[in-house]
Amino acid sequence: MTDLALPTHPLTPAQLNPSGIADALDRAAHLIHTNGLATGEYWECQLFATRWTEGRGCDALGAIGVAVGYRDHLDIDRAIVGEDVYDPKAHAYATTGPHPVLAALMAHLGVRDPLDVMNWSDKAQDRAVVEALRACAAGLRIHAAAAEQVGRVAS
């Protein structure tokens, strides 16, 4: 069973194995199921509120960000969505790409751009977003279990 407690610090790369990604997706689904689905923003905003606080509804991207340990919208832009980040040493911008948890949901939904997830989340109903997050998590667990079984048979 997934631990639905929200992490207080970003997950480490070691925690981002298929099981850890599935757990994060389940936490994001639980967050939306419990607090509601926000539209137009990562989470329900109050004037100048850039950080998520307990009890706020989230869209899919915001919920993923909170579920992997981020609370600030700028951190989600960089770490989850993969915005262009300026590298002063290279004097250039580099795109980090979507976070592994978001990438898993994008693959599940069959989309290539985080903006497509945001648009989908804004148009969907709470239940559809929760079900998609949970289905993606379940699919990851099935693939991980099958890969583990193949590894045991091969050895």
SS3 assignment, position 97 = coil
pLDDT digits (tens, 9 = 90+) for 128-142: 999 999 999 999 999
Structure tokens at 121: 């989340």
Work out the average pLDDT over 142-148.
82
Q: What is the pLDDT of residue 48?
A: 59
pLDDT digits (tens, 9 = 90+) for 80-90: 998 776 677 87
Give the pLDDT band of residue 21 (cuts 50, 70, 90). very high
H or E element at residue 141: helix 126-154
Q: What is the pLDDT of residue 78?
A: 86
Share of the chain above pLDDT 90, in %: 59
- The answer to whether 18 and 143 are in contact (CB under 8 A) is yes
Boundaries of every domain in the chain: 18-154
pLDDT at 47 over 60: no
pLDDT digits (tens, 9 = 90+) for 94-112: 777 899 999 999 999 999 9
What is the identity of the amino acid at 54? E
